[in-house]
Chains A and B, each alone.
Chain A
């Protein structure tokens, strides 16, 4: 019945679009499959056998224990702090809500390496936490006492890592829970107050809030666990004596898959990668299940219904929420401040003083393979190429999925959609491993391809582009295309008026996300970049920050580099925020 259907073969999809779909799916599957095949060939044992053998490897066992422990504790604290914050934002009216929301979401979009640098700056001498007498880094004073009394190794590192994970994931809880609180029909609560079961606060929590907020909280908790479990840059910087499976893979992945060389490493990588893949697929499946439940709970009430009813936040809530927002900014401000501070080596008078030396050294590239402007140019090149490749690919895939759904082929669309989302179930290091042990070991010539880091960036960002564009395309009413078809327009004008013009905002959001993600990406780039002159900013921050700190200018230089990365990323994300605000204002 559709006026355009008669011209489109095979389920209404053009052969070229099928080709793009196949390419995108292959891009997500092939590198990691090749990596597994390569590791299998090198070690001579199957992935499943490797899993059983790797459990006997103490490092892997420790990493698994540590990953589960830190992810569980991070999740518990994130939910405990995030839930009241989400409640306060959903229930009360706030002045400058947009600004507050932006501040809240800032940590989640900050490159992990910058976040790690920020926390390091907070904890190091000259940082606020250190100034308060809490030495989480050197583990002296109360932290040292805690370690000696309990026998717990590096409690300071663990606490710092948990704090960083809470900081990073807090917005997830607010993002999922706040809309439920805000959109809940106020009459539900009023009705419950009139019933015997709802006359006490506990009763209302038990009978209303727990069932209503439960699914959203579980989704947020599941994703927090997922991100904490696969944390890399933060573990590497804040808990250097410990490993998660992800950071262990990052350490060992670079030398895995080489014929006849360190077969034990290849075996460990094969086992850990197989285990981690299964774990991540399970976690994502679980999170997806909770998310479907959560979406059923959301009522259709207008977002401001609850806020209008309850008015401005009581003082205690206001202090809590505003205080937390200020705290969220602390690591980012610390990065900037630390780039201008150098620890004083002036005899017994330990302290710090202001300096521009960190910035000078960052500029000249004293501690790195390339100066900052070269690394920035590399980062911007990778980011631009990621955008140029990922956006059209994402558009083509989203367009095919929408066409399939509108043509009644929902199951096919669902299956293809899941396949396109596969890279989401892989951590950045796994994607990097896929590149190194898969493609590069089979086709070593690719080592000389200067834009190699773009490939994992495209893989990692494509699911987000597809996720942004697909619903936006589905929202476009077919009447616009029908009307345009009656107006004798050129093919481009037809496309623009019936589709393109409606996608400007989501495409801008997807584009800025591509840029920001690529700029801050660390895990995959860490494994893929082999030539010093290819170093991106995030790699350079790590490279400088990982140097021995006996030279007092190492830390300010690393912080100066992190500041550059942070500022560039924030500039890109401002575009995203403006596009999002425009969309909200115009309800498109």
Chain B
């Protein structure tokens, strides 16, 4: 589904993180925004999913102008995967399931997702024992369980070692394309950007005018 942000501005006490920002992503497209640390990429993603309110501007999902706040069809994969320590891997992934699903159906879907992300057999593992890459895959699996229309990826492979990062990026792209999910992916790693994206934008193209604020 098409996602668009029109004239988006996020202001903090010391000025604007970005202002008058326009960004449109077509259905199933993966757009990567490449920019240095601290330029405002994370704030942009938080504004897209509603975790941070836009000071002005609009968000559109298909033909629907979104109200401020969270929308169930948009999810975000944080830079550091957020897994709940009181739940095991399967339970963490199941959190992404729908309330309407039966127990059996949910368990089957969790198993399928785990197989898809290459973590078959990890169901009962505690999340504290996972490596950075495994943890991020679990978080990704949980996001897939949500069947989102739009997924926002905030440097999702930053906690993964270089050797596995590119393989993980390829796997992630494959799954996203398979499900036709619209994606905004931000990173400062060009190689990862090249693997992931259908369209590559530099931060200076997204936010041409220098904003008042400096830091994210």
A interface residues, Cβ below 8 angstroms from B = 1, 3, 6, 479-480, 482-490, 493, 497, 501-502, 504, 586, 588
Question: How far in angstroms is the closest Cβ of chain B from A447?
Answer: 47
Determine the chain A residues whose CB is within 8 A of the CB of B84 once the complex forms: 480, 497, 501
User: B159 within 8 Å of A by Cβ?
Assistant: no
Q: A3-B51, A497-B95 are in contact. Are A485 and B70 (CB under 8 A)?
A: yes
Question: How far in angstroms is the closest Cβ of chain A from B56?
Answer: 14
Say which residue of B68, B85, B96 sits within 8 Å of A6 (CB atoms). Answer: B68
User: B99 within 8 Å of A by Cβ?
Assistant: yes
Determine the chain B residues whose CB is within 8 A of the CB of A6 once the complex forms: 53, 68
Structural contact, B82 and A483, CB atoms closer than 8 A: yes
Structural contact, A487 and B53, CB atoms closer than 8 A: no
Q: Enumerate 8 A-B pairs (CB-CB under 8 Å) in ascending A order.
A: A6-B53, A483-B82, A485-B70, A486-B74, A486-B76, A487-B146, A489-B95, A497-B84
Determine the chain A residues whose CB is within 8 A of the CB of B96 once the complex forms: 487
Say which residue of B52, B98, B142 sits within 8 Å of A3 (CB atoms). Answer: B52
Determine the chain A residues whose CB is within 8 A of the CB of B68 once the complex forms: 6
- Whole-angstrom CA separation of A483 from B92 in the bound complex: 11
Sample of 16 more A-B contacts, CB < 8 Å, known A480-B82, A486-B51: A1-B12, A3-B50, A3-B52, A6-B53, A479-B80, A480-B84, A482-B51, A483-B78, A485-B51, A487-B75, A488-B146, A490-B99, A497-B84, A497-B86, A497-B95, A504-B86
Q: A3-B69, A3-B70, A488-B146 are in contact. Are A501 and B86 (CB under 8 A)?
A: yes
- Whole-angstrom CA separation of A493 from B91 in the bound complex: 13
Question: How far in angstroms is the closest Cβ of chain A from B73?
Answer: 9
1/0 per residue B31-54: CB within 8 Å of A? Answer: 000000000000000000111110
Question: How far in angstroms is the closest Cβ of chain B from A230?
Answer: 40
Determine the chain A residues whose CB is within 8 A of the CB of B53 once the complex forms: 1, 3, 6
User: B72 within 8 Å of A by Cβ?
Assistant: yes
- Whole-angstrom CA separation of A482 from B75 in the bound complex: 11
Question: How far in angstroms is the closest Cβ of chain A from B136?
Answer: 13
Determine the chain B residues whose CB is within 8 A of the CB of A489 once the complex forms: 95
- Whole-angstrom CA separation of A430 from B51 in the bound complex: 49
- Whole-angstrom CA separation of A493 from B95 in the bound complex: 9
Which A residue's beta carbon lies closest to that of B12? A1
Question: How far in angstroms is the closest Cβ of chain A from B10?
Answer: 8
- Whole-angstrom CA separation of A125 from B192 in the bound complex: 83
Closest 8 CB pairs of A and B: A483-B82, A501-B86, A488-B72, A479-B82, A3-B51, A486-B75, A485-B70, A487-B95
Determine the chain A residues whose CB is within 8 A of the CB of B86 once the complex forms: 497, 501-502, 504
At the interface, is chain A mostly helix, strand, loop or mixed? helix
Determine the chain A residues whose CB is within 8 A of the CB of B74 once the complex forms: 486
- Whole-angstrom CA separation of A501 from B127 in the bound complex: 15
Q: Which of A3, A483, A489 has the most CB of B within 10 A?
A: A483
- Whole-angstrom CA separation of A586 from B127 in the bound complex: 13
Structural contact, B52 and A588, CB atoms closer than 8 A: no
- Whole-angstrom CA separation of A403 from B50 in the bound complex: 20
Q: Which of A6, A486, A504 has the most CB of B within 10 A?
A: A486
- Whole-angstrom CA separation of A114 from B1 in the bound complex: 71
Question: How far in angstroms is the closest Cβ of chain B from A6?
Answer: 7
Determine the chain B residues whose CB is within 8 A of the CB of A482 once the complex forms: 51, 78, 82
1/0 per residue B4-32: CB within 8 Å of A? Answer: 00000000100000000000000000000
Determine the chain A residues whose CB is within 8 A of the CB of B146 once the complex forms: 486-488
Which B residue's beta carbon lies closest to that of A7? B69
Tell me the B69-123 residues at the A interface (CB within 8 Å).
69-70, 72, 74-76, 78, 80, 82, 84-87, 95-96, 98-99
Question: How far in angstroms is the closest Cβ of chain B from A322?
Answer: 36
- Whole-angstrom CA separation of A586 from B80 in the bound complex: 20
Determine the chain B residues whose CB is within 8 A of the CB of A479 once the complex forms: 78, 80, 82
Which A residue's beta carbon lies closest to that of B10? A1
Determine the chain B residues whose CB is within 8 A of the CB of A486 once the complex forms: 49, 51, 70, 74-76, 146
Which A residue's beta carbon lies closest to that of B51? A3
Q: Which of B76, B80, B86 has the most CB of A within 10 A?
A: B86
Determine the chain A residues whose CB is within 8 A of the CB of B70 once the complex forms: 3, 485-486
Question: How far in angstroms is the closest Cβ of chain A from B145?
Answer: 9
Question: How far in angstroms is the closest Cβ of chain A from B45?
Answer: 11
- Whole-angstrom CA separation of A486 from B69 in the bound complex: 10
- Whole-angstrom CA separation of A6 from B70 in the bound complex: 13
Question: How far in angstroms is the closest Cβ of chain B from A332?
Answer: 36
Structural contact, B51 and A588, CB atoms closer than 8 A: no
Structural contact, A1 and B52, CB atoms closer than 8 A: yes
- Whole-angstrom CA separation of A58 from B82 in the bound complex: 67
Question: How far in angstroms is the closest Cβ of chain B from A508?
Answer: 14
Structural contact, B82 and A588, CB atoms closer than 8 A: no
1/0 per residue B130-154: CB within 8 Å of A? Answer: 0000000000001000100000000
Determine the chain A residues whose CB is within 8 A of the CB of B72 once the complex forms: 488
- Whole-angstrom CA separation of A502 from B84 in the bound complex: 9
Determine the chain B residues whose CB is within 8 A of the CB of A485 once the complex forms: 51, 70
Question: How far in angstroms is the closest Cβ of chain B from A492?
Answer: 12
- Whole-angstrom CA separation of A484 from B96 in the bound complex: 9
Which B residue's beta carbon lies closest to that of A502? B86
Question: How far in angstroms is the closest Cβ of chain A from B96?
Answer: 6
Which B residue's beta carbon lies closest to that of A498? B84
- Whole-angstrom CA separation of A3 from B68 in the bound complex: 9
Which A residue's beta carbon lies closest to that of B79? A479
Determine the chain A residues whose CB is within 8 A of the CB of B12 once the complex forms: 1
Question: How far in angstroms is the closest Cβ of chain B from A343?
Answer: 56
Question: How far in angstroms is the closest Cβ of chain A from B19?
Answer: 16
Determine the chain A residues whose CB is within 8 A of the CB of B142 once the complex forms: 487
- Whole-angstrom CA separation of A480 from B87 in the bound complex: 13
- Whole-angstrom CA separation of A483 from B99 in the bound complex: 17
Determine the chain B residues whose CB is within 8 A of the CB of A1 once the complex forms: 12, 52-53
- Whole-angstrom CA separation of A485 from B68 in the bound complex: 13
Question: How far in angstroms is the closest Cβ of chain A from B18?
Answer: 14
Structural contact, A588 and B76, CB atoms closer than 8 A: no
Which A residue's beta carbon lies closest to that of B68? A6
Determine the chain B residues whose CB is within 8 A of the CB of A490 once the complex forms: 99
Which A residue's beta carbon lies closest to that of B76? A486
- Whole-angstrom CA separation of A504 from B70 in the bound complex: 28
